[in-house]
Structures are given as structure tokens and as C-alpha cells.
Amino acid sequence: MDATALLLTTAFRHRISEPNIEAGFEQFIVLTDQAITYEAFRDALAACLHDGLIREPIRLPEGALQCHWHLELTPKGVSASREFRRLCESKQSVQESCTLC
């Protein structure tokens, strides 16, 4: 699966909230069980953030003493994730290989 599509579909299904990006990446790998490099993960994050598909992942919640890392979709990201899912399902229904999933 494409790293960006994997990131969006994972964020759609799961909430990842960790102390830092490294722990977020480890949780992402556990959830997806996919062989994706840390660099590909960071590139996908940067692309999604640039395109407005995810919210800023580093946040300082009110009353917190340190920042936390969150993976959260924007409404635009939710739509993109649903579109990836729809495309994969339609390709699978006609027995085609889906490059997104």
C-alpha cells in the first residue's frame, strides 16, 4: 500500500497519541503490520500535513507539561481516506490488484 494511503486509512480507523514521533511510528507499525520505513512514514506525514489532510501532529494540550504527538485527520483527510477505501473496494470487486491497498 502507498505510504500516504496507509497513513490516512490507519488514522481513519485508529487514534494514535504518543509522547513523540518515534513512539507514534512504532504504534503505526503495530497497527498496520506493514513494512514501511521511518523515512517513508515521515514523508507521508509531511505530504499529508502540506495537503491539509492531517492536523499538526505535535501539540501541547492545555495543562500538559510536555508536547504529545497525535495522528488526527482533518475533514479533508477523512474524505480522502474514504475515497481510498472506496477505490480499493471497487478494484477488489472486479478482481483487480489495488496499488493503494
Q: Report DSSP state, residue 69.
A: E
Using one digit for the tens of pLDDT, what is the confidence trace for 84-101? 888 877 776 555 555 445
How many beta carbons lie within 10 A of that of residue 44, not counting itself? 21
Q: What is the pLDDT of residue 74?
A: 96
Residues in the chain: 101
* Residue ranges of domains in the chain: 3-93
Q: What is the pLDDT of residue 66?
A: 80
pTM exceeding 0.85: no
Using one digit for the tens of pLDDT, what is the confidence trace for 13-63? 999 999 999 999 999 999 998 889 999 999 999 999 999 999 999 877 777
Q: What is the pLDDT of residue 92?
A: 67
**Cβ contact 47:35 at 8 Å:** no
Q: Report DSSP state, residue 67.
A: -
Helix (H) or strand (E) holding 24: helix 21-32
Indicate the fold that domain 3-93 takes in CATH: Arc Repressor Mutant, subunit A (1.10.10)
Read off the pLDDT of each residue in 66-71 and give the average, rounded to a whole number: 87
Q: Return the residue matching grid coordinates 490488484.
A: 97
Q: What is the pLDDT of residue 95?
A: 55
